[in-house]
Structure 1
Amino acid sequence: MGVISAPALKLDQFWNCIRHGISGGKMMTRFPPGTAPTLIAAQIDDFDASNYMDAKMARRLDHSHRYGVAAARLAQQDAKIDFAKVDADRVGLVEGTTASSNETASKGDEGYYKRGYKGVGPFALINGYSGAGSGEIAKELNIRGHSVTLSSSSASGNDAIGYALSMIRHEEVDVMVAGGAEAPIVPHIWGALCLNQVLSRRNATPQQAMRPFDKTRDGILLGEGAAYLVLEELSYALSRGARIYAEILGHGRSCEAYHPVAPHPDGIGYFRAIQKGIREAQIDPEEVDYINAHGTATEANDIVETKAIKRYFGPHAYRLAVSSTKPITGHLLGATGALETIVCALSLHHQEIPMTLNHSEAGDGCDLDYVKGRSRPYPIRVALNLSSGFGGKNSCLVLRRFER
């Protein structure tokens, strides 16, 4: 597994931040915010792309592409696998993203308005299409089987891993590199989120700004970065002596077909995604010990997500630990599901449930165990990762602790 995030750029440091609630929130400096009501983000400042790829090549890429290459390379190194030695037709790559290549598109428009078509730049086409990131990663890591990009809003990272699971289960590949990359801190996305009152306005305290399930919640901390995992068919992984963090058992997804932005008030999207994921995993719902919630600290989501968990799990919902790690990492839009899958895998590996940073007093309709105050050692058997995106897209991944 590999991560590039605001709190940390290395896997062990990332887990330390998750365990101890060290947030990557800070003042946003990527561009002048003007009169925007939100001035804070989980922005990455200490990233040097030349540590992961050719410096000249990196300069022409969007931030999201650089982050993706870096995280995928770190995942490859962590897995100790050489893709050149894997049968080319038995390895693939899938990326989940929402706003990838927006940086190139924005610069291209600006250049055209100033200088005409010659101001667009020669790389606008190469870098500006939605599949540019996965293509660049495949080239850098020498993945020759296939490369694909999925986009399902903030469910993209989860769905990318679900796609990888399906490819392996159908015996089309032995190995998949799966994850997501995102760099949404650009003016037009920032402005739109501000207008829709999605971002937290606690500018004086960026690390305490995002408060999922809390009575005083007021929105998300926007983040950026990438997360990638190397997924392998079990016997293949065992044959080469791979370190295994966790097993992925199932993936469930749903669409509410209800509203462009708001979740269905009855939580039917979350409910159906959980239901499908548990069914595919072929486990008893009471085996689930931990849920990494979507937990956006928005008024509607936190109540709806809580309602869906209670509706599906019944009395067992009150025995579950439910936490959101977005106050630490920020909300990475399409990459957030991949990042939080890594959180779940590390939680299972280390047998520790992460806290919900900044959660103090539960809001109305939020009455589950949100792991307040500090992370919690616990013998976790099964963890769920929930993600939800605009357009009513919902996704649930089911992971289990690996035991030989």
Structure 2
Amino acid sequence: MSAAVPSPGVPDALPRYGPGPRRVVITGRGAITPLGLTWDETWAALLDGRSGIAPFTQLDASDLPVRFGGEVKNFRAEDHLDHKTVRRLDRTVHLALVAAEEAVRDAGLQVTPETAPRAAVILGTASGPARNAVTAAKAMAERGPRAVSPYFFPSSGVDSACGEISLRFGLQGSSTSMTTACATGSTCLGEAMRMIRLGIADVVIAGGVDDSLTRVDVNGAAVSRALSRRNDEPERACRPFDTARDGFVMSAGAGVVVLESEEHAVARGARIHGELAGYGATTDAYHVTAPHPDGLPAQRAARLALAEAGLDPDAVDYINAHGTSTPKNDTTEIKVIRGVFGSHATRVPISSIKSMTGHMLGASGAVEAITALETLTAGRIPPTINCDDPEDQELDFVPHKARDHDVDVAVSNSFGFGGHNAALVLRRWRPTH
């Protein structure tokens, strides 16, 4: 006799193990986005309600159905990396390396031969080194087999970025690349947290990256009807939770954090930005692109994350929404928020920074977690721009302008094609002793 399969949305027997034997804190953050080449630049633009979405300048999109996106502007890998490294690696890896360097600097982290075996990397990408692949295919088609760079094969894997980060900083713990589509960045942070909790590592550099703004990738997303087609007003194209939304905006970026066990961070006198207190991950098992219509597995991910943090939904002061601006995703996320938070849903501020950054794919969850982290210390919440007529008039989407708000606990949602769901709970850090 087969066992009964429980409903994916029923929260029966959720673990409630509080902060766990090892608390996990964030000591460094780095980001490169369409809004800035550092985290500080990105954060300032978010608070200003600035859009980073504009007509493409790095590819010829004149004959494409979508001619705009969120490019990383004014980024020169040569300003940060040596010539040989720049030449042999894809731009995606350039972004990841530079964001990781910012995070490590911010953390004041120095890896020694003694600490290296317990320092790890989990960094993912949804698309991998896409530009390298397109360039190599084009060169081979036009000039023959000898035109393909000898660097192509060793640098074309999805693990390229995490391997290069390990090499650059001398990290000898596990080096892992994970992909859960648009939830990748959040998944990597959550799984890194688990490594530290379980005592496998003391330090993990974690995050996500993508720069797949090629003619092939943009056109592919466009013909699948996933992208907004507001070519005449790109800065208003990404409209999370607005009734006039018509698709997401494809962007590039990288987000990286340094996670440590609390005792490791305190022992070395690190500045602690906040605590990563909970993580939940589920899968819809419903459709290759469409979310579960009731969002039940996504609700369970959020409940798992809150349970791990030992918190009730009413304790949450801010929700950083996945908020892609696609009709189905935003409707489902509203159901998720209402389902998890109940009457508190109408009292908690919710915003989607994708309204300004666009969708950075594998990087989005990591950058959005950094955003939620920043609200804990800054006491300010970035807005959802272009949200003129919200689908749910009772929810507070922080429209148009940033807001002062005291945040002690924040939740960051991420959902990906294929039904991947990840939720993170970030909390203001208070020492154990």
Which sits farther off after the overlay, 52-61 or 373-382? 52-61
Q: Where does 1:248-287 land on structure 2 (aligned, <5 Å)?
A: 248-287=276-315
Q: Could you tell me how far 1:277 is from its partner in structure 2? A: 0.9
| 1:87 pairs with 2:115 | yes
Computed over aligned residues only, the root mean square deviation of the Cα atoms, in angstroms, reads 1.4
Q: Distance in 2 between matches of 1:209 and 1:43?
A: 14
Q: Say if 2:407 is the partner of 1:380.
A: yes
Counterpart CA distance in 2 for 1:149 and 1:19 is 32
Mapped contact 2:117–2:171 kept (Cα < 8 A): no
Task: Confirm or deny: 8 A CA contact 1:355 1:370 kept in the other structure.
Answer: yes
Partners of 1:102 and 1:395 in 2: how far apart?
Answer: 24
User: How many residues in Structure 1 have an aligned counterpart in Structure 2?
Assistant: 403
1:160 deviates by 0.3
TM-score, scaled relative to structure 2:
0.90
Deviations 1:122-164 (A, max 9, x none): 1111111111111111112222222110011011100000111
Q: State the distance in 2 between where 1:140 and 1:38 align.
A: 37
| C-alpha distance after superposition, 1:189-214 (max 9, x if no partner) | 11111112222222222222211001
> What is the distance in 2 between the residues matched to 1:260 and 1:88?
40
* Cα distance in 2 for residues equivalent to 1:355 and 1:177: 28
Alignment of 1:332 with 2:360, yes or no, is yes
- Give the equivalent residue in structure 2 for 1:403: 430
* 2:395 counterpart (368, 384, 389): 368
**Aligned position for 1:176:** 204
2:228·2:237 contact (CA, 8 Å) conserved in 1?
Answer: yes
Q: Does 1:76 align with 2:74?
A: no
Query: In the alignment, what sits opposite 1:390?
Result: 417
Quick check: 1:93–1:176 contact (8 Å CA) kept in 2?
yes
Question: Residue 64 of structure 1: CA displacement?
Answer: 0.5
Question: Which ranges in structure 1 are unaligned for 5 or more consecutive residues?
Answer: none
- Contact persistence 2:320–2:412 (CA under 8 A): yes
* 1:238-296 deviations in Å (ceiling 9; x for gaps): 12121111100111011011111111111113211111111111111110111111101
Provide, for residues 326-348 of structure 1, a one-character-per-residue CA deviation record: whole Å limited to 9, x for no partner. Answer: 12112111111001011011111
Using the alignment, how far apart are the partners of 1:56 and 1:250 within structure 2? Answer: 40
Determine whether 1:228 maps to 2:270: no
Report the Cα offset of residue 86 of structure 1.
5.3
Ranges of 4+ aligned residues in structure 1 off by more than 4 Å: none
More off after superposition, 315-324 vs 44-53: 44-53
Instruction: Name the SS for the 1:384 alignment partner.
Output: strand
SS, match of residue 334 in structure 2? helix
1:19 aligns with 2:44: no
Q: Which amino acid aligns with 2:274?
A: A
The match for 1:39 among 59, 64, 67 is 67
Q: 1:48-75 CA deviation, whole Å, 9 max, x = no partner?
A: 2123221231122111000000000010
Question: Partner residue of 1:160?
Answer: 188
Query: Cα distance, 1:85 vs. partner?
Result: 5.8
Separation (CA, whole Å) in 2 of partners of 1:222 and 1:147:
28
CA contact (8 A) 1:302 1:366 kept: no
Residue 342 of structure 1 corresponds to 370
Question: Residue 269 of structure 1 contacts residue 393 of structure 1 at CA under 8 Å; is this kept in 2?
Answer: no
Q: Secondary structure at the match of 1:84?
A: coil
Supply the distance in 2 between the matched residues of 1:285 and 1:303 (Cα, whole angstroms).
20
Distance 2:229 2:125 in 1: 25
**2:38 alignment partner in structure 1:** 10
**SS state at 2:317 partner:** strand
Equivalent in the alignment of 2:7: none
- Structure 1 window deviating more from structure 2 (145-154 vs 42-51): it is 42-51
Q: Which letter does structure 2 place at the counterpart of 1:201? A: R
* Alignment-derived partner of residue 105 in structure 1: 133
Cα-to-partner distance string for 1:297-346 (whole Å, 9 max, x where unaligned)? 11111110001110111111111111100121121111110010110111
Contact 1:42–1:221 at 8 Å: present in 2 too?
A: yes
SS of 1:150's equivalent in the other structure is coil
In 2, the alpha carbon distance for the partners of 1:390 and 1:366 equals: 27
User: Conserved in 2, the CA contact under 8 Å of 1:52 and 1:69?
Assistant: no
